[in-house]
Amino acid sequence: MPIEVRSLTHIYHRGSTSEAVALKDVSFRIDNGEFVGLIGPTGSGKSTLIQHLNGLLKPTSGEVLVDGQNIWDKGMSLRKLRQRVGLVFQYAEQQVFEETVRQDIAFGPRNLGLSEREVMERVEEAARMVGLPADLLDRSPFELSGGQLRRVAIAGVAAMKPEVLILDEPAAGLDPRGRDGILSRIQEMHRGGMTVILVSHNMEDVARLCGRLLVLNKGELVADGTPREVFSRNEFVKKIGLRAPDVVNLMEKLRERGWNVRTDIVNVDEALKEILRELGKEAPVLS
């Protein structure tokens, strides 16, 4: 299910003294099966943009097309759209409110008109998918850790089996183990065929996971390319207030000191290979 955004502009509180232009003439297209990272400084419009993709916000001007159809056309169902384009909000765990984890994850699929058995199958499948042990399902969400709660929130959206999964900072505020756990689950869902759009502040994460990055700055789409294409423009990345992955800066420093290494490197494995090549050594076999 391709998503296309054409000349999207969004202005909050238009015409009032608190008017804020959050998105300016943004255009892009996302195809089936992509894993796209959406990055940009705080206030650059990331959350505003993703809420347009499932019809929670309406463009001030411009269009959002899903399967080639404008989602705001007459006869289009926003309810159906939201089943196909699932959005996990930032701090989604704050929206966990049912008595048990099971009931909470069931909330979305129950609105799809499925039988109770199908709903429960979906709940259990989604729980497995996000790595929630089955014995937690009948506990109160309020007994869970922060990382587990975040998983409950993601499972609630995954249980709707959306074709496109959008997550706003799903790993923010979690400890490294929690963050790696959640990100590898998201990676698995992508491998299973979902299109994923990941909003993140963590450049290491997006460089490692995403095939493509969209970069917003002050409401404008200022870059659209692979992590390598985006982060090798390190000066530009710094200028808009982002920080490329540490390995990018490391390779630059080595080069400044006369090492003949590539600087378009975005992850640790590549950096290791390149450094060993420069040293004339074989790469060790890493487990």
Ligand X SMILES: Nc1ncnc2c1ncn2[C@@H]1O[C@H](COP(=O)(O)OP(=O)(O)O)[C@@H](O)[C@H]1O
Binding site for Mg ion (CB under 5 A): 46-47
Q: Which residues contact 48 (CB under 8 A, 6 or more apart)?
A: 10, 12, 22, 23, 57
Q: How far is the CB of 219 from ligand X (least distance, A)?
A: 7
One-letter amino acid for residue 106 of the chain: A
Which run of H or E residues covers position 64? strand 61-66
Quick one: 141 or 170, whose CB is closer to Mg ion? Answer: 170
SS3 category, 162: coil
- Binders in 17-36 for ligand X, by CB under 6 A: 20, 22
Question: What are the strands, taking DSSP E only, across 218-274?
Answer: 220-225
In 3D space, the residue among 41, 34, 24, 25 whose CA is nearest the CA of residue 3 turns out to be: 34
Q: How far is the CB of 172 from Mg ion (least distance, A)?
A: 10
Does residue 37 belong to the site contacting ligand X (CB under 6 A)?
no
280 class by beta-carbon count within 10 Å (0-12 exposed, 13-18 middle, 19+ buried): exposed
Q: Which of 30, 35, 37, 48 binds ligand X (CB under 6 A)?
A: 48
Does residue 236 belong to the site contacting ligand X (CB under 6 A)?
no
Q: How far is the CB of 171 from ligand X (least distance, A)?
A: 15
Does residue 40 belong to the site contacting ligand X (CB under 6 A)?
yes
Q: How far is the CB of 90 from ligand X (least distance, A)?
A: 8
Task: Report the C-alpha gap between 112 and 64 in whole angstroms.
Answer: 24
Binding partner at 9 among ligand X, Mg ion, none, C-beta below 5 to 8 Å by kind: none
Q: Which of 42, 115, 260, 287 binds ligand X (CB under 6 A)?
A: 42
Catalog residues that contact ligand X under the rule CB under 6 A: 12-13, 20, 22, 40, 42-48
